[in-house]
Amino acid sequence: MAKTGATVSTLLPELKIGLHELETHELLRQLRSGDIDVGILVLPQAQVGLRSLSLWQEKLWLGVGHNHEWAQKKQVTRTQLLGAELILLKEGHCLADQAQQLCQIKSQSHAFRGASLENLRYMVSAGNGATLVPQLSMEAWISHGDNTITYIPITEPNQARELGFLARSGSAYWPSVEALNSAMASVLPEVSKDTQTLPLVI
């Protein structure tokens, strides 16, 4: 997570981290097989043989092009999203799974399924629909000068996904996980009390 990298390096200079980007199911497989020691991900329901540590609730936004019918909305409720047609990531990505499972959102699966959030950003910027955008991605896009997307908060209640750590039960690395969690949490924004966490069911 780019937002926390500098702080982690400063507070934990002796900690050596090797990063690998994996889809959730593959990450869980590699954790259980011992190929990797720790995972940072959207936390799923309790997993046998693994222990978790919550890091942060990441708010979800609705991203639309400036000419989209909802572009002037100040907020959109979860009820309004029920049955909406959104451009989603391909199956297997946790953000797509959450959108379909928990918001009962229809995906334009026969029209477009993005392999990455960057693909979705280009599609929405070009006026081809709407998508869910995690807060850290939204902040990164805005900081890089992308002003082609309108971001609308999802409310009643605010919607978020729980980010955290997973490791094997009894892992010798758990003290390092706790130290890393503390360092990263120190620079992440506070979460509104009326935020509802969307569980990831896999």
* Residue-level pLDDT, tens digit, the chain, 202 residues: 677 888 989 999 999 888 888 888 899 999 999 999 999 998 988 899 999 999 999 988 999 999 999 999 999 988 888 777 788 887 667 777 766 665 565 555 445 677 788 888 988 988 888 888 999 899 988 988 888 899 999 887 788 889 999 999 999 999 999 999 999 999 888 877 767 776 665 5
Query: Quick one: pLDDT at residue 201?
Result: 58
pTM of the model: 0.82
- Three-state DSSP state, 106: strand
How distant, in Å, are the alpha carbons of 32, 160, 164 from that of 169? 10, 26, 15
Query: Quick one: pLDDT at residue 89?
Result: 80
Query: Quick one: pLDDT at residue 144?
Result: 85
Query: Quick one: pLDDT at residue 37?
Result: 95
Query: Quick one: pLDDT at residue 156?
Result: 78
Query: Quick one: pLDDT at residue 109?
Result: 47
Bridge partners, 38 (sequence order): 167
Query: Quick one: pLDDT at residue 177?
Result: 96
Helix residue spans in the chain (DSSP H): 2-11, 24-33, 78-81, 94-102, 117-125, 135-143, 174-185
Residue 157, number of CB atoms within 10 A of its CB = 14
d(CA 91, CA 107): 10
Q: Is the peptide bond before 153 cis (omega within 30 degrees of 0)?
A: no
- Domain annotation for the chain: domains and CATH numbers: 2-56+161-197 (3.40.190.10), 57-158 (3.40.190.10)
Q: How many residues does the chain have?
A: 202
d(CA 109, CA 31): 30
